[in-house]
Amino acid sequence: MRPNISIVNALVRITVGFTLVAYGTAKLTRKRCSNSVIFLVMIGAMKIAEGILRFCPMTAFSKKCMIMVDKHNEDDSIEEFVQPS
């Protein structure tokens, strides 16, 4: 697993993650077991982990998809020029 986000992006993710976790835990002290707040805390924790590891699975997935699309387009363009007579 190699880092695929920059240091600035990682710091922003950590900041946003801690903000979401703090907001969610503050909400949980007033309202018990709200599913949306628990989901918010989970998303915040995921953003903190992405920032610490500097690896985003969605970024890796999108890069892999773009590579596959480029390869597919190259294969199509080669077949256009090479037609049997």
Domain boundaries, given as residue ranges, for the chain = 7-81
Give the pTM. 0.75
Identify the pLDDT of residue 82: 56
Identify the pLDDT of residue 2: 87
Query: Is residue 11 scored above 90 in pLDDT?
Result: yes
Band of pLDDT at residue 76, cut at 50, 70 and 90: low
Give the number of other Cβ atoms within 10 Å of residue 31's Cβ. 9
Query: Which residue did the predictor score with more confidence, 77 or 46?
Result: 46
CA-CA distance, 60 to 38, in Å (whole number)? 26
CA-CA distance, 36 to 31, in Å (whole number)? 11
